Amino acid sequence: MNRYPLWKYVFIITVTVIGLLYALPNLFPSDPSLQITMEDKYKFTGKEREQIKTALSEAKISAKKIETVSDNKLMVRFNNTGDQFASVDSIKANLGKHYVTALTLAPTTPGWLKGINALPMYLGLDLRGGVHFLMEVDMKTAIDKSLERYSSELGSFLREKELRYLGVIRHKNNLTIKFKTEALRVSALKALDREYNTLLTFKEVPNEKGVALTVTLTEVNINNTKRFALQQNITTLRNRVNELGVSEPIIQQQGLERIVVELPGVQDPAAAKKLLGATATLEFRMVDENNDPYVAQSSGRVPVGSKLFFERNGNPILLKRKVMLTGDYITGAAAMFDQDQRPSVSITLDGKGANIFARETGKNVQKLMGVVFIEHKTDITKLPDGTISKKTKKTQEVINVARIQEQLSKRFQITGLDSPQESHNLALLLRAGALAAPVYIVEERTIGPSLGADNIQAGKYSVMIGFLLVLVFMAVHYRVFGLVANLALTLNLVLIVAILSMLQATLTLPGIAGIVLTVGMAVDANVLIYERIKEELRNGLTPQLAIQSGYEKAFSTIADANITTLIAAIVLYGMGTGPIKGFAITLAIGIVSSMFTAIMGTRAVINLIYGNRRIKKLHI
């Protein structure tokens, strides 16, 4: 009686070994480090290591290790955060302006653990330190971009319907479509209103001001544009942060126009700001080969239907106003080299974009096409009266001009990039998606790792004190059975840490609270079982029958209590945000692991000690 089959022991041992292996990386602390990355267009010359050593020697700081991470990245590890912070200015001064330095925490997990993908769990912003940004979306630019898109779209629609118009003129808050006759205006109004009745409002301009229609966005369209801009920016920022490799960031909406971004482990906000705020996309336009761009530049008169741009070398170039394709249709981008070993980006379009591009390039074979790189930058200045002035500057440059040799479709390459690093950055931005509207930072906080260390220490003490008190109580009150429960409780903690590490989840202070709560709940299951065993002994059952009856009869009570708590954890995770989710995750994992250790684990040990033996008394 009270014997487990061999497979159950093998299963428990396997789970225990796996848990120990995947919890082990958390015992290796991260090193305070300084990550040094080359800026675009520059390459390592080999002298950087000596410059870093000289800078550290002058500052009387000893580095733990200087290692090469990649072709354009170095990592300087330190023994403590004091040396880490003290080294920044000295290293920056010695290296010069073409290097980006970022404070970070570098893991020290041994290679053999990395080989089985055993990595430490991520620590949240409140534990590891990092940066917190509150970003506001420039909704005015989002609406302006929407009007710009409709300016091109309405012209194409009227041409398809064979309704001749003189032009579409963009104003500050609306568009004006001009016609030659009243009959054309009436016909166009009917067609446009039928197609865009929920999106745009069309109003006839008094005839004394010309035969024209005024086009404005409907209130519903404006609200949808703002909502789309916010959601698209959240998605894009999340993609960019993922490309950056930041562990478990928090990116969420705050209000109607703002986004909260928290990046654990990032201690220098400069590099993060550069990536997060970048608003880059591409436009593909045909080159105006019939007019001289130098004449247009000197005279200031640009031919109708064309627009003056500039190439990277400063030369002017005329491109058609009609945009063939925008970066909105790009689904994939990869940095690579073309057949002449020049940096390039391989572009992949979605189905709709591929159809548009195939149609447009098919009509323009053997003609020149230009690729325009567009970037929005927001300058924020504080005025004398204390108010904040925000100006969004749009920069456009032609990065590539090539003759279309054949019809292009879903995949193609763009060249004309200055360096492999630039092609990498452009591919990253295109792959992550363009921001629907520029964002600017209205609040920025850097949380130092010393605060995180204090929080980690407080969290450790809370878990250790609670854990030790429970161990002492169980050992004194239940003796041998109490020691078995303590063993199960230790394994429970190991499994929680292992599962969090395997999921690469983020541990926060609320998460630690969830673990502390789980410690109490885990031992509660054993208390129920042991009290039931004692009750069965008092009722006259033999020790073997008392053990069997205690586990079987207590199981339903334990299951009911844990399932109801698990439901609460699931609701918290589904409806909560940020820290609440962290608490819910650790609580749910703790419930599952405690069910395993408190019931199956302790039963296995008790069976090994008392099973299939003649015993007169239980030490409980």
Tell me 553's DSSP state: H
pLDDT of res. 126: 73
506 or 515, which is more confident:
515
CATH of the domain at 574: 1.20.1640.10
Query: Is the per-residue pLDDT at 577 higher than 70?
Result: no
Distance CA 238, CA 547 (A): 53
pTM as predicted: 0.57
Q: Is residue 252 part of a domain?
A: no
Clarify whether residues 538 and 582 are in a common domain. yes
pLDDT of res. 294: 92
Task: Report how many domains make up the chain.
Answer: 4
443 or 193, which is more confident:
193
Clarify whether residues 324 and 399 are in a common domain. yes
What is the pLDDT of the chain when averaged over all its residues? Answer: 82
Domain of 321 in residue numbering reads as 277-442
Q: Which residues of 59-93 are buried (b: 16+ CB within 10 A; e: fewer)?
A: bebebbebeeeeebebbbbbeebebbbebbebbbe
Q: Is residue 438 part of a domain?
A: yes
Clarify whether residues 311 and 349 are in a common domain. yes
CATH of the domain at 66: 3.30.70.260
Query: Is the per-residue pLDDT at 386 higher than 60?
Result: no
Distance CA 361, CA 77 (A): 52
Considering 418, 442, 466, which residue would you say is the last residue of a domain?
442
Instruction: Give the pLDDT band of residue 560 (cuts 50, 70, 90).
Output: confident
To the nearest whole percent, how much of the chain has pLDDT over 70? 86
Q: Is residue 464 part of a domain?
A: yes
Clarify whether residues 517 and 553 are in a common domain. yes
Considering 413, 442, 471, which residue would you say is the last residue of a domain?
442
What is residue 244's three-state secondary structure?
helix
Clarify whether residues 429 and 472 are in a common domain. no
Clarify whether residues 95 and 159 are in a common domain. no
Q: Is residue 242 part of a domain?
A: no
Tens-place pLDDT, residues 317-341: 999 988 888 877 777 777 787 777 7
| Range list of β-strands (E), 129-264 | 130-137, 167-170, 175-178, 200-204, 212-217, 250-254, 258-264
Query: Is the per-residue pLDDT at 563 higher than 70?
Result: yes
240 or 409, which is more confident:
409
Instruction: Give the pLDDT band of residue 288 (cuts 50, 70, 90).
Output: very high
Q: Of 82-91, 196-205, 302-311, where does mean pLDDT reach its minimum?
A: 82-91
